[in-house]
Amino acid sequence: MNRLQELLRKFKGKRVVVLGDFVADVFVYGEISRISREAPVLILNHRDTQVVPGGGANAVHNLRALGADPLPVGILGDDEEGKQLIRYFKKLGIDTSGIRVTKSYRTPTKMRIIAGAVHSPRQQIVRLDSGGPGKKPAKTSERAFLERKLKALLPKADALLVSDYGYGIILPELVSGLNRSGIPSTVDSRFAMTAFSGMTAATPNEPEVEAALGITIGNDMEKLEWAGRTLMRRLKHNALLITRGKDGMSLFEKSAKTTHIPIHGTDEIADVTGAGDTVIATFTLALAAGGTYAEAARLANYSGGIVVMKHGTRPVTYNELMAAIGE
C-alpha cells in the first residue's frame, strides 16, 4: 500500500467543522415529448425530481462519503428545501445541531431542468436560482448562533472548512476571531477570497484568482506563478491550491517550488457541478489526517478527476478514491 492509500485510511472518523452556505441542488429530469404550440420551447414529460446537498452542504456530503465525521455549522430556511437537507444529513448520520433553521431566511436553491430523449443523453437546458438573503448581512442573532456553535465544536475538531458562496451568512469576521488551536483551516470563497486571511490554505479556481487580482492568466505560466505567489502573500496563507479545469491544479507553498499537477483521468469532462466542493473536502481531510500540502493536493486532484465524470451534484466515495490511487 502506497503513502496516499495509507493517508486515505486515516480519513475515517476525522472531525471536520464545515462553516458554509448550505444550498439545495434540485434536479428535475424530463423526457422530450414535442415542441409546444404556445411558444418555441420543448415540452418535457416529467420523470423524476432529486434534491441533494449543494454548496457547503456538498462539501459536508463529500466529507461523509470519504469516511469523515463532518460537523456542519450554518443557516437554513424553515422551508421544504431546508427540511429536505436536514433529513438528508440525518439519514447519513450527520450531526445537525450546528444548523439553525429560521423563517427569516430562504434556503438557497439551484433548480436545474435536465432534458433528454429516449435514446440520447440528457443535458441541462435551464437553471433557476432562488432563496438566500442576497447581499444582506447575517442578522445579529444568526451571527451569535454561528459563533457559539463554532466555539463549542472547534476544540473537538481536526480541521475547519469554510465554504462561502456569497449569500451574506459566512462573514470573514466570524472566522478571524476564532481560536483554531493549530488545526488546519481552509477556505473556498466565491466572491470574497481576499477577505479570509491568515488561514492555512485556500482552494480557488483560476477565474476566481483572476477576478481577485484583476488579471487574465490564460496559458501564461509566468502570470500563473506571479498570481499564485502574490495571492498567497496577500492572504497570509501557508499554501494555495489553484484548480485549473482541464489543465489540472497548481500548488503554491511558502517554502517550496510550485507543483503543477496534471488532471487525473480524461479531459472529456461530463459535469463540473460541485467539483470545487469535492476538491476542498478532500484537501482539508488529507491535511487533517496528517498529510503534507503536496499529498493533500494529489488526493484532491484524484477526487476532482473522479467527480467531473459524474452527472449532477454527487460526492466521491472512499472506495472510489482508494481505487483511483491504486490504478
pLDDT in tens, 18-58: 999 999 999 999 999 999 999 999 999 999 999 999 999 99
Summarised one tens digit per residue, pLDDT across range 118-139 is 777 888 999 999 987 655 556 7
Which are the contacts of 233, defined by CB distance < 8 A and separation ≥ 6?
A: none
Are 184 and 160 in contact by the 8 Å Cβ rule? The answer is yes
Are 126 and 40 in contact by the 8 Å Cβ rule? The answer is no
**Greater model confidence, 179 or 257:** 257
Largest CA distance in the chain: 65
What are phi and psi for residue 316, nearest 5 degrees? -95, 135
| 32-46, 97-111, 174-188, 287-301: range with lowest mean pLDDT | 174-188
Q: What percent of the chain has pLDDT over 70?
A: 96
pLDDT at 115: 94
pLDDT at 120: 76
In which band, very low, low, confident or very high, does the pLDDT at 327 lie, cut at 50, 70 and 90?
confident
79-109 per-residue burial string, b: 16 or more CB within 10 A, e: under 16: bebbbbbbebbeeeebebebbbbeeebbbbb
Alpha-carbon span 156 to 35, nearest angstrom: 57
Alpha-carbon span 327 to 312, nearest angstrom: 25
In which band, very low, low, confident or very high, does the pLDDT at 155 lie, cut at 50, 70 and 90?
very high
Are 64 and 92 in contact by the 8 Å Cβ rule? The answer is yes
State the average pLDDT for the chain: 92
| 16-20, 246-250, 310-314: range with lowest mean pLDDT | 310-314
Task: Compute the average pLDDT of residues 167-189.
Answer: 88
- Asked if residue 1 has pLDDT above 80, the reply is no
pLDDT at 108: 96
In which band, very low, low, confident or very high, does the pLDDT at 308 lie, cut at 50, 70 and 90?
confident
Please report the sign of the dihedral spanned by the C-alpha atoms of residue 315, residue 316, residue 318, residue 319.
positive
Which of 21, 25, 188, 277 is catalytic? The answer is 277
Task: Compute the average pLDDT of residues 212-221.
Answer: 94
**Greater model confidence, 86 or 143:** 86
Question: Quick check: is 79 catalytic?
Answer: no
Task: Compute the average pLDDT of residues 143-151.
Answer: 94
Q: What is the CA radius of gyration of the chain?
A: 20
- Asked if residue 304 has pLDDT above 90, the reply is yes
pLDDT at 270: 64
